[in-house]
Amino acid sequence: MKDNAVIRAENLTIRFARRKMPDILAVRSVSLSIGEKETVALVGESGSGKTTMGRALVRLLRPSRGTVWFKGQNVTTIHGKRLRHYHSQAQLIFQDPFASLNPFHTVGYHLERPLMNLRGLSERVARETVSDLLMQVGLTPTLVYQRKYPHELSGGQRQRVAIARALAGNPALVVADEPISMLDVSLRAEVLRLLQSIQEQHGLSYLYITHDLASARYLAHRIAVMYGASIVEMATAETLVRSPAHPYTHLLLAASVGSATDALPETQSGAPDLTESRVGCPFAPRCPLVMDRCRVETPPLVEVEPDHVSACFLHQEGTP
């Protein structure tokens, strides 16, 4: 994995200051790598640090600690021209396609701009390329869509424009942050299939952020489960769903199996503690299998079988 990793985060920590309150660590020493043409899903409930992690990988945020490697280059603290170039290589698709499009500009304008700014195309060539992009995301006839304004599009069409825009810079990595969660259920599978076919055509790598394990299983090769700023389990998609190891993953699965909604289990003891002074497993306050040890020591990620790691003392019998 290390050798063909397009992106690799090592011990990434992201701290946010809060007024008159202790700082929080929204991401706490997280390591993750994504290979060429690979999709890794980052799954977990709201507030677990997924968006923050995704923003740090594409360097919309500067990590407080740790390193981000992109194709072997350290991009953790790059700025200026190098950062602008990196932004063409690593793109983000947002949850809300309406909020990410400017209501005063046409679809064509939204796509021409990055083609000129990121790929350095002339206005004339950019205009021609716009119709290629629209074709790729299935918005045809392209001439019609090029002239439309965001409010003239459905949610699914807007998300297609957002996807086309992410492709404009010819990226190697796309972070898709809950790209279907605001779409009608009937449109979700279509957009996932589009992301998949684009990956096949362009050989892209994806970080697919979601709270929905079912869509993660559909799209991703590997799944990382995040809880309380940490990755608590990671495995191939099939293994994670078939033989989950971490109690939190069990809970997530129980919530998604057979339920038409993507509701997550109720939080009984509130959101996890994200302050730096937290001790023990982030999931301990909610864990049905909690042991004394879990409240004082943080379980490390350990291999439970090849390509499958989990951070739980239950798998570490024999250690005192």
Ligand X SMILES: Nc1ncnc2c1ncn2[C@@H]1O[C@H](COP(=O)(O)OP(=O)(O)O)[C@@H](O)[C@H]1O
Q: In this chain, which stretch among 46-54, 67-75, 183-191, 280-288 interacts with ligand X, using CB under 6 A?
A: 46-54
Residue 77 contacts which entry, ligand X, Mg ion, none (Cβ below 5-8 A, type-dependent): none
Residue 274 interacts with ligand X (CB under 6 A): yes or no? yes
CB of 100: closest distance to ligand X in angstroms?
A: 16
CB of 295: closest distance to Mg ion in angstroms?
A: 27
Nearer to ligand X, 47 or 155 (CB): 47
Q: Hey, which bits of 49-172 come out as E strands? A: 65-70, 73-74, 90-93
Residue 47 contacts which entry, Mg ion, ligand X, none (Cβ below 5-8 A, type-dependent): ligand X
Q: How far is CA 166 from CA 94, 223, 239, in A?
A: 10, 23, 31
Residue 217 contacts which entry, ligand X, Mg ion, none (Cβ below 5-8 A, type-dependent): none
Nearer to ligand X, 49 or 171 (CB): 49
CB of 294: closest distance to ligand X in angstroms?
A: 22
- Give Cα 258 to chain centroid, integer Å: 24
For Cα atoms 133, 219, 167, give the angle at the middle one, nearest 5 degrees: 20
Residue 275 interacts with ligand X (CB under 6 A): yes or no? no
SS3 of residue 21 by DSSP: strand
CB of 187: closest distance to ligand X in angstroms?
A: 22
User: What is the bridge-based pairing of β-strands 205-210 and 39-43?
Assistant: parallel
Q: In this chain, which stretch among 44-52, 97-105, 164-172, 242-250 interacts with ligand X, using CB under 6 A?
A: 44-52
Residue in the block written with tokens 């021409």:
112
- Crossing angle between the packed helical segments 107-117 and 155-168, to the nearest 10 degrees: 20
Whether the CB-CB separation of 115 and 167 falls below 8 Å is answered with no
Nearer to Mg ion, 45 or 233 (CB): 45
AA letter at 277: S
Site string for ligand X, 47-86 (x = CB under 6 A): xxxxxx----------------------------------
Rounded Cα distance between 114 and 147, Å, is 17
Instruction: Please report, in angstroms and rounded to a whole number, the separation of the first and last CA atoms in the chain.
Output: 32
Residue of 1, 16, 73, 201 that binds ligand X (CB under 6 A): 16
Q: In this chain, which stretch among 47-55, 104-112, 122-130, 269-277 interacts with Mg ion, using CB under 5 A?
A: 47-55
Nearer to Mg ion, 48 or 142 (CB): 48
Sequence-distant (6+) residues with CB within 8 A of 139 are 107, 145, 157, 160, 161, 164
Residue 26 contacts which entry, ligand X, Mg ion, none (Cβ below 5-8 A, type-dependent): ligand X
Residue-wise burial string across 9-36, b where 16 or more C-beta atoms lie within 10 A, e elsewhere? bbebbbeeeeeeeeebbbbbebebbbbe
CB of 61: closest distance to ligand X in angstroms?
A: 8
Nearer to ligand X, 50 or 110 (CB): 50
Nearer to Mg ion, 38 or 177 (CB): 177
Residue 210 interacts with ligand X (CB under 6 A): yes or no? no
DSSP character string of 225-259: EEETTEEEEEEEHHHHHHS--SHHHHHHHHHHTT-
Residue 51 interacts with Mg ion (CB under 5 A): yes or no? yes
DSSP 8-state assignment for residue 275: B
Q: Which residues bind Mg ion (CB under 5 A)?
A: 51
Q: Which residues bind ligand X (CB under 6 A)?
A: 16, 24, 26, 44, 46-52, 274
